[in-house]
């Protein structure tokens, strides 16, 4: 025992030494206090106010206390403290340290939050606390915002950094939706973590959904060997509090016109496994969902078509300059929006049995800058109804790169041949279509070369900026010998010349996107001036200019030669960027500018030579004008709907998008985003009677507030946007309004490390 004190006095009657502003160094910790009384005969210490107990494991503050060095018994009164390993804060009337190093704490309050900012805490009459093992409470009450919400007669959790079973952070959110079918109310999740062994664990999560019912989720993880690991997730909930109606969900094929109602059983599972096998790697991925809405309603994912199931098995074997990949895929997609109806999607069942890809690269020279690669692939698709095909692809590529002090040169040549044997089997409702069979062959070639000229500028022998100019030439040709043969078999003679993508739509969904013919040359020139921030050591583009000019060498669609050579879908005349027999497509011009002070601007144009006018404009500006405020505005004006050379459609629109983030206080911030489409005019709404659109130009709006506490995050979100669904064959727009509120605790009484198995 060693005292370090500014002064001391001795009382002969009590035989005590009184130390002022002193600290005592013991074997396991240090005691500091404004006053310490020490009885040398009894080996007994008493502490006054402002007592601090400091060790590598914990820090405790007390108003008073004593230490018996003979029995190693320590008692403290009116105590506050923190466990340095887990950051758990403790407030108690009394703390007693026993000989084995454990603590008995009376009338205790526990929380990870700072005083005055408690999201939750736990109060108990008595707590047994082992800093290297576990803690055990009796008569515990869990409080939320100091309001008692749950009584636990017996509560145990880990106090170690390593994995140990215990409760994880609970989650709470509230969902309100304008669509009653998606309005689920308060959703509480309480997870419990089970450390099964060093190489596997299990997390069980209780879900309680106010307007649905109770559910259970599980996550099992394993990592048995270096390259053998996986994860299995499940979720199951029976909607005991919600009765779904076939009338309310607008189901055409399930009990139409009936008042029959039923509770839905919602479930999903996802299994992923990776392991070594025969010198290669085996991958397994399996997914199943009960319905098309489960991820949106319970897990906040986008409301879009999802998979009923998929089962993928893949095997990869690599060698020094190549490898082989093979496997079997099977999947099905939901196309019906209802939770109840799962019987009308037979045309989306897809089996992929099997596929094989063989690739090989060689380096005939001593330099790795030369690369010659080949790949051979085979795939067989099979559906009950719809498209079926077997596909053979052959890919070759050549590239060569070298560098000089001022120049980088990189030419590349790729070639792909695709042989497709296809057939179409109509489902029972397609009485006007017969079984079809045909073959087609697609040849794709691309040649690219680019130079990069650059120069560095130096200050004090350090590079501070750089100018680089990159001219590029890309030639691309896609030739389809007879992709159109299936349509020819269902059309009158010579009618195939006028076939459009709309004609192919009756065979959707196809096994792969339609291939559009291309014969084009792209010339691109990029100029960039880069600067380096010497203090923070990062590089940013100060100024950038790009000129992109494409030439459509195939824009003579009425030519008998091209009609004979290419038999795939054509871009309709009204969606072409230029008139027939012209070749120079509109010029694309891009400007970008940024500064070290967080100002960025981007401006792009699409300029038409024929009309001497700008067809498309996009401008984006973002900045942080003052501390804690960020702002972004995007404007996009496309005056005419058109298709790119690969068939991608760019819709006519005139939109404004605003994004704003403000940090009001150290804890409170807000996010706002909104999109307006001023192109949604009366003519737009009335253009297609079968497509019922809403008379509204504000297409999307979101507002969010975030309160970040010392141990929690409170989120408040409102989202309002235009959605679209199909009913009775007609498309309809509707307003989807979603309100959500969630409270997430940063820590709870559990093992702090559960993200990794080791």
pLDDT band at 493, cuts 50/70/90?
A: very low
Q: What is the pLDDT of residue 421?
A: 83
What was the pLDDT predicted at 684? Answer: 67
368 vs 380: CA distance, rounded Å: 36
Give percent of the chain above pLDDT 90. 25
Whose tokens are 């489902």? That residue is: 427
Q: What per-residue confidence (pLDDT) applies to 391?
A: 86
293 vs 291: CA distance, rounded Å? 6
Give the model's pLDDT for residue 82.
87
Length of the chain: 758
Q: If DSSP codes are grouped into helix, strand and coil, which group holds residue 485?
A: helix
Judge whether residue 756 has pLDDT over 90: no
pLDDT value, residue 495 = 41
Residues 125-151 have a mean pLDDT of 80
For tokens 């205790």, what's the residue? 108
Residue 705 or residue 262, greater confidence: 705
Instruction: Classify 347 as helix, strand or coil.
Output: helix
How far is Cα 346 from Cα 340, in angstroms, rounded to an integer?
16
Mapping DSSP to helix (H, G, I), strand (E, B) and coil, where does residue 560 land? Answer: helix
SS3 339: coil
Top-confidence residue, 49 or 528 = 528
Residue 719 pLDDT exceeds 50: yes
Average pLDDT, the chain: 81
- The DSSP code sequence of 179-232 is SGGG--EEEEEEEEEEEEETTEEEEEEEEEETTTEEEEEEEEEEEEETTEEEEE
How confident is the model at residue 170, as a pLDDT?
79
| 512: pLDDT strictly greater than 80 | no
Higher pLDDT, 55 or 492: 55
Residue 256 pLDDT level (bands cut at 50, 70, 90): very low
Interior angle at CA 439, CA 437 and CA 441, nearest 5: 160
Distance from C-alpha of 498 to C-alpha of 484, rounded to nearest angstrom: 11
CA angle, 735 then 337 then 719, to 5°: 30
Range scoring the smallest mean pLDDT among 660-674, 712-726, 729-743: 729-743
Q: What is the mean pLDDT of residues 557-582?
A: 74
pLDDT, position 494: 42
* Rg (the chain; Cα; Å): 35
pLDDT at 427: 72
Longest Cα–Cα distance of the chain, Å, equals 124
- Structure-token pair, residue 445: 């070639």
What does the pLDDT look like over 81-90, one tens digit per residue?
Answer: 888 877 788 8
Exposed / middle / buried, residue 690 (Cβ in 10 Å: 0-12, 13-18, 19+):
exposed
Q: Could you give the CA distance from residue 505 to residue 160 in angstroms, rounded to a whole number?
A: 61
Range of 406-420, 443-457, 678-692, 710-724 with top mean pLDDT: 443-457
Residue 587's nearest CA partner among 542, 538, 613, 548 is 548
Structure tokens at 21: 């502003």
Per DSSP, the three-state class of 282 is: strand
pLDDT at 755: 42
Other residues' Cβ atoms within 10 Å of the Cβ of residue 356:
15
Name which of 719, 681, 723, 714 is nearest 703 in CA terms: 719
Residue with tokens 């005055």: 116
Grade residue 278 by pLDDT with cuts at 50, 70 and 90.
Answer: confident
For position 346, what pLDDT does the model report? 54
Taking residues 49-73, report their average pLDDT. Answer: 85
Put residue 166 in one of left, alpha, beta given phi > 0 → left and psi -120 to 50 → alpha: left
Phi, psi (deg, nearest 5) at residue 559: -70, 130
Residue 725 has pLDDT above 50, yes or no: yes
Distance from C-alpha of 224 to C-alpha of 232, rounded to nearest angstrom: 14
Query: How many other CB atoms sit within 10 Å of the CB of residue 364?
Result: 7
Distance CA 297, CA 289 (A): 13
Do 338 and 291 form a contact (C-beta atoms < 8 A)? yes
Q: Which tokens hold the place of 636?
A: 């996009």
Considering 117-131, 482-496, 673-687, 698-712, the range whose residues carry the highest mean pLDDT is: 698-712
Contact 280, 318 (CB under 8 A): yes
Contact 218, 200 (CB under 8 A): no
Rounded to whole angstroms, how far apart are CA atoms 607 and 308?
45
What CA–CA distance (Å, rounded) separates 90 from 235?
36
The dihedrals phi and psi of 564, each to the nearest 5 degrees, come to -80, -35
**Is the CB of residue 645 less than 8 Å from the CB of residue 550?**
yes
Query: Does residue 541 contact residue 528 with C-beta atoms inside 8 Å?
Result: yes
Q: Give the count of beta carbons closer than 10 Å to the beta carbon of residue 569.
A: 21
Q: What integer pLDDT is reported at residue 344 of this predicted model? A: 56
Instruction: Give pLDDT tens digits for 675-690.
Output: 999 888 766 666 666 6
Question: Which pLDDT belongs to residue 498?
Answer: 47
Quick one: which of 706, 704, 631 has its CA closest to 666?
706
Residue 253 has a pLDDT of 45
Query: Quick one: pLDDT at residue 590?
Result: 97
What pLDDT score does 754 carry?
A: 41
Q: What confidence category does residue 215 fall into, taking pLDDT thresholds of 50, 70 and 90?
A: very high
Q: Which residue has the higher pLDDT, 391 or 237?
A: 237
Query: 726-755, pLDDT tens digit by residue?
Result: 655 567 788 888 888 887 776 555 444 344
Tokens 């064959």 locate to 729
Give the pairing type, strands 691-692 and 730-745.
parallel
pLDDT confidence bin for 562, thresholds 50/70/90: low
Task: Please report which confidence band the pLDDT of residue 257 belongs to, taking 50, 70 and 90 as the band edges.
Answer: very low
Instruction: State residue 251's pLDDT score.
Output: 53
More confident of the two residues 508 and 438? 438
Q: Is the pLDDT of residue 501 over 60?
A: no
pLDDT in tens, 345-374: 555 556 666 778 887 776 555 455 677 888
Of 603, 706, 703, 605, residue with least CA distance to 663 = 706
359 Cβ partners below 8 Å, 6+ apart?
322, 323, 324, 325, 373, 374, 375, 376, 395
Contact 334, 350 (CB under 8 A): no
pLDDT at res. 665: 76
Q: Can you tell me the distance from the alpha carbon of 222 to that of 199, in angstroms, rounded to the nearest whole number?
A: 6
pLDDT band at 267 (very low <50, low <70, confident <90, very high): very high
Alpha-carbon distances, residue 31 vs 38, 99, 298, 658 (angstroms): 12, 17, 52, 58
Averaged over 688-708, what is the pLDDT?
85
284 or 161, higher pLDDT: 284
Q: What is the mean pLDDT of residues 625-632?
A: 85
Mean local confidence (pLDDT), 299-314: 82
Higher-confidence residue of 62 and 569: namely 62
Residues 6+ apart with CB under 8 A from 498: none
Residue from 59, 46, 54 nearest 19 by CA: 46
pLDDT higher than threshold 60 for residue 15: yes
Contact 60, 50 (CB under 8 A): no
Q: Are 433 and 426 contacting, i.e. CB atoms less than 8 angstroms apart?
A: yes
- Report the distance separating Cα 625 and Cα 643, nearest Å: 38
Q: How far apart are CA 647 and CA 569, in angstroms?
A: 9
Strands (E), 239-321: 244-245, 261-262, 265-277, 280-289, 307-319
- Residue 85 tokens read as 């390993």
Quick one: DSSP state of residue 583? -
Q: Are strands 518-533 and 538-552 parallel, antiparallel or unpaired?
A: antiparallel
Rounded Cα–Cα distance for residues 115 and 520 (Å): 68
Of 56 and 105, more confident: 105
Q: Which position has the higher pLDDT, 485 or 596?
A: 596
Percent of the chain at pLDDT exceeding 70: 82
**Alpha-carbon span 306 to 293, nearest angstrom:** 8
- Inter-residue contact 106 to 92 (CB < 8 Å): yes
pLDDT, residue 560, reads: 61
Per-residue pLDDT at 252 exceeds 60: no
Query: Does residue 472 carry a pLDDT above 90?
Result: yes
**List of residues 6+ apart from 9 with CB closer than 8 A:** 17, 18
Average pLDDT over residues 370-381: 82
Q: What is the mean pLDDT of residues 173-190?
A: 83
So what's the pLDDT on residue 94?
92
Which residues 6+ apart lie within 8 Å of 470 measured at CB? 450, 451, 452, 453, 524, 525, 526, 528
> What's the rounded Cα separation, in Å, for the pair 606 and 92?
70
Are 390 and 379 in contact by the 8 Å Cβ rule? The answer is yes
Task: List Cα–Cα distances, 32 to 39, 153, 563, in angstroms.
Answer: 17, 36, 93
């Amino acid at each position: 025992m060693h005292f370090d004190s500014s002064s001391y006095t001795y009382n002969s009657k009590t035989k005590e030494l009184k130390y002022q502003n002193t600290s005592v160094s013991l074997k396991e910790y240090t005691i500091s206090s404004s006053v310490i009384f020490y009885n040398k005969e009894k080996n007994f210490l008493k502490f006054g106010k402002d007592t601090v107990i400091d060790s590598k494991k914990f820090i405790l503050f007390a108003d008073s206390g004593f230490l018996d060095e003979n029995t190693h018994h320590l008692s403290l009164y009116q105590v506050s403290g923190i466990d340095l390993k887990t950051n758990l804060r403790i407030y108690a009337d009394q703390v007693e340290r026993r000989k084995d190093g454990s603590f008995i704490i009376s009338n205790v309050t526990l929380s990870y939050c700072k005083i005055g900012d408690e999201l939750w805490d736990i109060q108990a009459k008595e707590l047994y606390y082992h800093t290297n093992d576990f803690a055990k409470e009796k008569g515990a009450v869990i409080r939320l915002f100091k309001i008692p919400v749950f009584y636990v007669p017996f509560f145990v959790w880990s106090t170690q950094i390593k994995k140990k079973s215990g409760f994880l952070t609970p989650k709470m959110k509230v969902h309100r939706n304008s669509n009653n079918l998606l309005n689920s109310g308060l959703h509480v999740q309480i997870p419990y973590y089970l450390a099964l062994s060093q190489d596997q664990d299990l997390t069980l999560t209780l879900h309680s959904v106010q307007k649905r019912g109770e559910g259970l989720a599980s996550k099992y993880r394993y990592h048995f060997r270096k390259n053998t690991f996986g994860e299995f997730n499940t979720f199951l909930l029976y909607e005991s509090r919600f009765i779904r109606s076939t009338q309310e969900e607008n189901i055409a094929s399930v009990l139409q016109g009936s008042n029959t109602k039923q509770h839905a059983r919602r479930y999903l599972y996802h299994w992923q496994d990776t392991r070594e096998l025969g010198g290669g790697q085996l991958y397994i991925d399996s997914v199943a969902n009960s319905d098309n809405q489960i991820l949106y309603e319970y897990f906040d994912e986008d409301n879009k078509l999802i998979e009923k199931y998929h089962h993928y098995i893949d095997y990869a074997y690599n060698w020094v300059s190549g490898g082989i990949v093979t496997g079997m895929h099977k999947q099905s997609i939901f196309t019906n929006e209802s939770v109840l109806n799962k019987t009308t999607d037979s045309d989306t069942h897809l089996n992929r049995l099997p596929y094989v890809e063989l690739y090989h690269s060689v380096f005939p020279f001593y330099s790795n800058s030369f690369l010659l690669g080949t790949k051979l692939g085979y795939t067989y698709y099979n559906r009950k109804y719809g498209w079926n095909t077997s596909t053979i692809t052959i890919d070759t590529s050549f590239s060569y790169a070298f560098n000089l002090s001022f120049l980088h040169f990189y030419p590349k040549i790729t070639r792909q041949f695709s042989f497709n044997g296809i057939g179409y089997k109509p489902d029972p409702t397609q009485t006007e279509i017969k079984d079809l069979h045909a073959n087609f062959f697609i040849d794709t070639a691309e040649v690219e070369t680019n130079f990069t000229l650059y120069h560095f500028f130096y200050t004090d022998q350090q590079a501070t900026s750089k100018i680089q100019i990159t001219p590029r030439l890309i030639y691309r040709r896609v030739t389809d010998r007879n992709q159109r043969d299936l349509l020819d078999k269902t059309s009158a003679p010579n009618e195939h010349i006028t076939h459009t993508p709309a004609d192919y739509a009756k065979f959707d969904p196809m096994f792969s996107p339609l291939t559009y013919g291309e014969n084009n040359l792209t010339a691109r020139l990029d100029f960039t001036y880069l600067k380096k921030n010497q203090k923070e050591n990062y590089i940013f583009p100060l100024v950038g200019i790009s000129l992109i000019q494409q030439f459509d060498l195939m824009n003579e669609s009425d030519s008998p030669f091209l009609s004979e050579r290419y038999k795939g879908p054509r871009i309709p005349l009204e969606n072409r960027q230029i008139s027939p027999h012209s070749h120079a497509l509109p010029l694309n011009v891009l400007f970008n500018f940024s500064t070290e002070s967080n100002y960025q601007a981007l401006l792009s144009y699409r300029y038409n030579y024929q009309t001497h006018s700008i067809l498309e404009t996009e401008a984006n500006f973002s900045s942080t004008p003052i501390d804690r405020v960020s702002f972004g505005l995007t404007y996009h004006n496309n005056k005419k709907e058109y298709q790119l050379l690969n068939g991608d459609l760019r819709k006519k629109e005139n939109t404004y998008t605003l994004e704003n983030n403000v940090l009001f206080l150290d804890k409170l911030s807000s996010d706002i985003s909104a999109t307006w489409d001023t192109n949604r005019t009366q003519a737009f709404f009335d253009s297609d009677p079968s497509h019922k659109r809403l008379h509204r130009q504000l297409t999307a709006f979101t507002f969010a507030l975030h309160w970040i506490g010392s141990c929690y995050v409170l989120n408040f979100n409102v989202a309002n946007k235009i959605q679209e669904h199909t009913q009775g064959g007609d498309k309809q727009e509707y307003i989807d309004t979603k309100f959500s509120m969630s409270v997430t605790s940063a820590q709870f009484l559990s093992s702090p490390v559960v993200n990794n198995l080791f």
